[in-house]
Amino acid sequence: MSAVVCELCPRTCVIPEGAAGDCRVRVNLGGKLRATTYGRPSAIHIDPMEKKPLYHFHPGAQIFSLATAGCNLHCLNCQNWQLSQRGGEEMEETYRAEPAEIVAAAKEEGCKAIAYTYSDPIVFYEYVYDTSVLAREQGLTNVFVTAAYVNREPLRRLCRVLDATNADLKAFDDGFYRRVSGATLKPVLDALVTFREEGVWVEVTNLVIPTLNDDLALIRRMSRWIAAELGVDTPLHFSRFQPQYRMRNLPPTPTDTLRRVRTEALEAGLRYVYIGNVLGDAGSSTYCPRDGTLLIGRSGFTITDYKLTADGRCPTCNDKISGVWL
Amino acid sequence: MSTLARHWHPRDARFLGLIALTALLVALYLGEELRLAAREGSGHRVIDLKALERRIDSGDLSNREADWYHLATPQESGGGTP
């Protein structure tokens, strides 16, 4: 009986024959580790870029989005748990879509980008990598939406074919990671720094959960860390929590809380801080950090106003706005 | 004790038997759960292997070899791997 050790994420699961890693989809069959969901997504959609959320990367573009079953985190508040907390053999439906077919379908639908998203794409790493290589060859960009619980070397290799990421920073608190997500904080911070070092465009999302991670001192520490390690131009999205899955005992995040944490992050030095999952809030639009000019107005996932110049500058003060623009 | 013996009735034995049977079933259930938990304690999950193999054979799932793994050393597999 040959056990194998998976080196992909910090869990480094020791997997005996016939068992799966903690992610449920990387399985030891006959002493070899198998990526059982390679080319077998269970979710395929076309989304607006703003849904990832990416606000400084090709705003308004449509993005071909896919996911397979499985995840290496087990968040009590997971919004995609029907997908993420199941193995491939537990899914009612999987599609057969090899990397070349995904790229062809994205082009046919008029999408210029592909997102690996919904569950954590780390667990279908090989599928992401092969698809990204082909996508890049054909002029498409690759977006990785992740909780960033991944080892450094696999991530470095993947970064060569990625263009942008929205990475969850669930809380600047190791205890929160252990209690709520079954993970740890440090590997996530390391991964965020790796994305930046490798030249991938990074935006960060923090889901604000009442009483668990909405303490202003925690928000301040997280914002200062982002400013110091990733840069003050890194967009930070504060997202509204909705009770679901195994965390139905807490209320949705009050809008006032989201506005307070946004103010705190701006005061900590970050220049682009957003409120998400609150329809029509002014905090979901982009403003010039120098003179306050409204640059990109948003309502939900819709762009209501676009005033950036063609080369990504503020039309009032001509300041360069960080991002990958159209 | 003598009071108990005086009031003993066959139906009491049946009742005690029912209690003992229930306790045995609870113990077996907990033992099985503990056994599975111990197997999963080293960062892996027990899966429905037959269902997985069926889905791979039918093409619903893939048999593609993964990157980023190595065979466990005896130390890594807790001394259980030859």
* CA triple A79-A83-A87, angle to 5 deg: 140
When the pLDDT of each residue in chain B is averaged and rounded to a whole number, the result is 85
- What's the pTM? 0.89
In the predicted model, residues of chain A with pLDDT beneath 50 are none
Confidence at residue B34, expressed as pLDDT on a 0 to 100 scale: 73
| pLDDT given for residue B5 in this prediction | 77
Mean pLDDT of B50-56: 97
Reported confidence tier of residue B25, pLDDT bands at 50, 70, 90: very high
pLDDT for B36: 61
pLDDT for B38 = 56
Q: Residue A49 has what pLDDT?
A: 98
**How near does any CA of chain A get to the CA of B79, in Å?**
11
Confidence at residue B11, expressed as pLDDT on a 0 to 100 scale: 84
Q: How confident is the model at residue B82 (pLDDT cuts 50, 70, 90)?
A: very low
- Which pLDDT score, from 0 to 100, does residue B51 have? 96
**Number of Cβ pairs closer than 8 Å across A and B?**
133
Segment holding B13, helix H or strand E: helix B10-40
Question: Strand pairing partners for A296?
Answer: A286, A306
Of the candidates A152, A88, A82, A166, the one whose C-alpha atom is nearest the C-alpha of residue A124 is A88
- Planar angle of CA A139, A145, A149, nearest 5 degrees: 125
Residues A70, A38: contact at Cβ < 8 Å? no
* The one-letter amino acid at A173: D
| CA proximity to B39, closest of A15, A36, A5 | A15
Band (pLDDT 50/70/90 cuts) for residue B12 is confident
Q: What is the largest CA-CA distance in chain B?
A: 74
Do the beta carbons of residue A231 and residue A276 sit within 8 Å?
A: no
Give strand pairing partners of A26.
A35
Cα distance between residue A167 and residue A147, in whole Å: 5
CB-based contact A22 B45, cutoff 8 Å:
yes
In this structure, what token pair is assigned to residue A4?
A: 């194998």
**Sequence-ordered list of residues with C-beta below 8 angstroms from that of A185, at least 6 positions apart, any chain:** A171, A172, A173, A174, A176, A177
Residue A71 near residue A148, CB atoms below 8 Å: no
- When pLDDT is averaged across residues B50-54 and rounded to a whole number, the result is 97
Residue B80: predicted pLDDT: 42
Q: Decide if A160 touches B, using CB distance below 8 A.
A: no
Distance from CA of A41 to the nearest CA of B (A): 9
Q: Does residue A6 belong to the interface with chain B, where contact is any CB pair within 8 Å?
A: yes
Shortest alpha-carbon distance between residue B33 and chain A (Å): 17
pLDDT number for residue A260? 98
**How far, in Å, CA of A131 to CA of A134, rounded?**
5
Q: What was the pLDDT predicted at B37? A: 58
Query: Which pLDDT value is given to residue A110?
Result: 97
The 3-state secondary structure of chain A, one letter per residue: CCCEEECCCCCCCEECCCEEECCCCEEEECCEEEECCCCCCCEEEEEEHHHCCCCCECCCCEEEEEECCCCCCCCCCCCCHHHHCCCHHHCCCCCCCCHHHHHHHHHHCCCCEEEECCCCHHHHHHHHHHHHHHHHHCCCEEEEEECCCCCHHHHHHHHCCCCEEEEECCCCCHHHHHHHHCCCCHHHHHHHHHHHHCCCEEEEEEEECCCCCCCHHHHHHHHHHHHHHCCCCCCEEEEECCCECCECCCCCCCHHHHHHHHHHHHHCCCCCEEEECCCCCHHHCEECCCCCCEEEEEECCEEEEECCCCCCECCCCCCECCCECC
User: How far separated are the first and last CA of chain B, in Å rounded?
Assistant: 59
The interface predicted TM-score of the complex, written ipTM, equals 0.92
Distance in angstroms (rounded) separating the CA atoms of residues A290 and A314: 9
**DSSP SS3 for B70:** strand
Q: Is the preceding omega at residue A53 within 30 degrees of 0, hence cis?
A: yes
Nearest CA in chain B to A86: B47
Write the DSSP symbol of residue B60: S
Contacts of B71 in chain A (CB under 8 A): 2-5, 31
pLDDT at A228: 98
Contacts of B64 in chain A (CB under 8 A): 34-35, 38-39, 126
